[in-house]
Structure 1
């Protein structure tokens, strides 16, 4: 992954993965290890939180299609390694945080 081409988004648009995938299995230990590292990274990179949560659903029995999504996420992290979110306090104004949520869980097939 050190030589991967950086991606501009952490996941493909309208990606639909399922636990019932029938493609080839991948090394579950390696998959879990990478997910654990990404979960730690979420503390400073909330922009990858949804994608990490999505790929972590398949830690029990990861397949090639799940692995491909993981690799794309790693390419995104590589391309944005020097980016971060800053919430500056300007003057005496109060910080206001606005949050939005997708009610259908992004069309989760297994949900």
Structure 2
């Protein structure tokens, strides 16, 4: 076994080790996900979802690419490990994965 120095990046999670504190982050992963979904230039907001938003499967809007939608939801599910504040929203939009 050999010492490869301090852990800095593992499975998309950035690890910063201090003398007392260990910090985990996914900013590079989140930025990559935003670029892939075409939302890199969007404005950030405080709340991850509009209040009292009701989504239904019956919609008259144009259909979206199911593969891209499922990929984005998968990325968001992985992001929940570090950002638990988006867990409700990710679970809510995951309901529409079979037919977005």
Same-fold call, TM cutoff 0.5: yes
TM-score, normalised to structure 2, is 0.59
Partner of 2:69: 31
Paired residues, number: 62
Q: Which has the higher strand share?
A: 2
2:93 matched to 1:48?
A: no
Report deviation, 1:21: 1.9
**Aligned equivalent of 1:65:** none
Which of 11, 29, 41 does residue 3 from structure 1 map onto? 41
Correspondence for 2:21: none
What is the TM-score of this pair, normalised by structure 1?
0.53
Q: Name the larger-Rg structure.
A: 2
Structure having greater relative contact order (Cα 8 Å, sep ≥ 6): 1
Deviation of 1:22 (Å):
2.5
Structure 1 stretches of 4+ moved >3 Å: none
- Structure 1, unmatched stretches of 5+, are 63-111
- Cα RMSD of the aligned pairs, angstroms, is 0.8
